[in-house]
């Protein structure tokens, strides 16, 4: 890709939204206008960010932990799409369109995040952006799609023809999981509210349960699938314990229940969550608990997974879903949208004005 020469001129400083203190986005975020542009270390590249995406973990982390434990201040958010401006001896080239994410561990180590004009990160945390999607679409792909990919193919070892239940098919993780499962010919049952029923069907969901009418576990217990699900992905994050404790009725023996939660929104909620979990019957099988495997998933940066996702996009088998796009200045409106928990698809922030 050729760019005007001035696109590669690297300024000394940049603008970035940084988390300075614990709180809501309105109290935690500060627009730093003179943050030094980082220099890539060996094996890293410097990327000019075009668009970034918000994730629930972004605002959840803002309200957790005191500054010294959370290593603040640091730039907010994780996902981005951009252009390589210093390939630094890696396999990338100047001008390559890329996408990737700076996950929490890397963020606290480097104090970097995606709501900045420039980021450095290891080359293996990036993939070339497929030519059939825009930077705005690509920015929302990495974190949620890696999560769904790792849940389905690393944890559940899903195979063609098997059946999957996704709790929360209209969450971004759930929407990615439906598309990934359909790409290998699996049958997908999912939950959503009626307003998103057509949306999840358009992604390929075969059976849709309206979670607002009746608890999904009751529907599934009354009318279990034949054969039972090979795997369940809990993609809402507000852990639904009865969905697990009743799952012997609808999850096959040897099947797995993968959860992207619990992520209690405050550290103080952990003891009450544990008390609730135990009283609801969430204890090991050897204590008389549910005889199905439960695993919590924490997404990891894996180049081969991101590359496979990029390939599926190039092949037209996976389509990114964008809910809305906000300007860099309108960051609080963007957070308002994701914190409504009603976004259908990714909430995107244009870091470079005028990005497609």
The nearer residue to ligand NAP, 35 or 61, going by C-beta atoms, is 61
The nearer residue to ligand NAP, 19 or 235, going by C-beta atoms, is 235
Rounded CA separation 100/308 (Å): 13
Minimal distance, residue 149 CB to ligand NAP, in Å: 11
Minimal distance, residue 325 CB to ligand NAP, in Å: 15
Rounded CA separation 138/141 (Å): 5
Residue 152 · residue 307 · CB < 8 Å: no
The nearer residue to ligand NAP, 317 or 341, going by C-beta atoms, is 341
CB atoms within 10 A of CB 304: 9
Residue spans of beta strands (DSSP E) within 140-180: 163-167
The nearer residue to ligand NAP, 112 or 192, going by C-beta atoms, is 192
Minimal distance, residue 333 CB to ligand NAP, in Å: 15
Distance of alpha carbon 277 from its chain centroid, rounded?
Answer: 25
Minimal distance, residue 234 CB to ligand NAP, in Å: 9
The nearer residue to ligand NAP, 291 or 341, going by C-beta atoms, is 341
Minimal distance, residue 198 CB to ligand NAP, in Å: 11
Minimal distance, residue 339 CB to ligand NAP, in Å: 9
Closest residue by beta carbon to ligand NAP: 237
The nearer residue to ligand NAP, 82 or 345, going by C-beta atoms, is 345
Closest CA relative to residue 52, chosen from 112, 91, 99:
99
The nearer residue to ligand NAP, 62 or 260, going by C-beta atoms, is 260
Which residues here bind ligand NAP, judged by CB under 6 A?
55-57, 143-144, 147, 168, 170-173, 191-193, 195-196, 211, 235-238, 260-261, 263, 297-299, 338, 341-344
Residue 331 · residue 29 · CB < 8 Å: yes
Sequence-distant (6+) residues with CB within 8 A of 138 are 51, 81, 97, 99, 129, 130, 320
Minimal distance, residue 179 CB to ligand NAP, in Å: 13
Residue 35 · residue 15 · CB < 8 Å: yes
Rounded CA separation 180/174 (Å): 10
Joined together, the tokens standing for residue 288 give 């008389």
Terminal alpha carbon distance of the chain: 16
């Amino acid at each position: 890709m050729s760019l005007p020469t001035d696109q590669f001129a690297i300024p000394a400083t940049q603008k970035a939204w940084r988390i300075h203190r614990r709180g809501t986005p309105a109290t935690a975020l500060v627009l730093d206008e003179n943050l030094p542009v980082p220099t890539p270390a060996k094996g890293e590249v410097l990327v000019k960010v075009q668009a970034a995406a918000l994730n629930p973990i972004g605002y959840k982390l803002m309200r957790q932990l005191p500054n010294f434990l959370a290593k603040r201040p640091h730039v907010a958010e994780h996902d981005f799409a951009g252009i390589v401006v210093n390939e630094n001896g890696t396999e990338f080239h100047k001008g390559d369109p890329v996408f990737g994410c700076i996950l929490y561990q890397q963020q606290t180590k480097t104090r970097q995040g995606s709501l900045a004009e420039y980021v450095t990160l290891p080359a293996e945390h990036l993939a070339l952006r497929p030519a059939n999607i825009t930077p705005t679409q690509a920015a929302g792909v990495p974190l949620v799609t890696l999560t769904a990919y790792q849940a389905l193919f690393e944890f559940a070892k899903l195979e063609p023809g098997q059946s999957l239940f996704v709790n929360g098919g209209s969450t971004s993780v759930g929407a990615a999981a439906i598309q990934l499962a359909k790409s290998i010919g699996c049958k997908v049952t999912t939950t959503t509210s009626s307003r998103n029923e057509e949306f999840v069907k358009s992604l390929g969901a075969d059976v849709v349960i309206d979670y607002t009418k009746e608890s999904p576990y009751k529907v599934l217990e009354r009318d279990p699938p034949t054969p039972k699900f090979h795997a369940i992905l809990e993609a809402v994050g507000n852990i639904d314990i009865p969905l697990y404790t009743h799952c012997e009725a609808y999850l096959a023996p040897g099947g797995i229940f993968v959860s992207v939660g619990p992520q209690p929104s405050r550290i103080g909620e952990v003891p009450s969550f544990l008390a609730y979990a135990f009283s609801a019957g969430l204890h090991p099988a050897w204590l008389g608990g549910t005889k199905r495997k439960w695993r919590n998933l924490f997404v990891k940066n894996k180049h081969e997974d991101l590359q496979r996702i990029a390939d599926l996009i190039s092949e037209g088998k996976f389509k990114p879903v964008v809910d809305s796009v906000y300007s860099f200045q309108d960051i609080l409106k963007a957070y308002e949208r994701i914190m409504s928990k009603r976004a259908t698809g990714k909430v995107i922030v244009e870091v470079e004005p005028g990005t497609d």
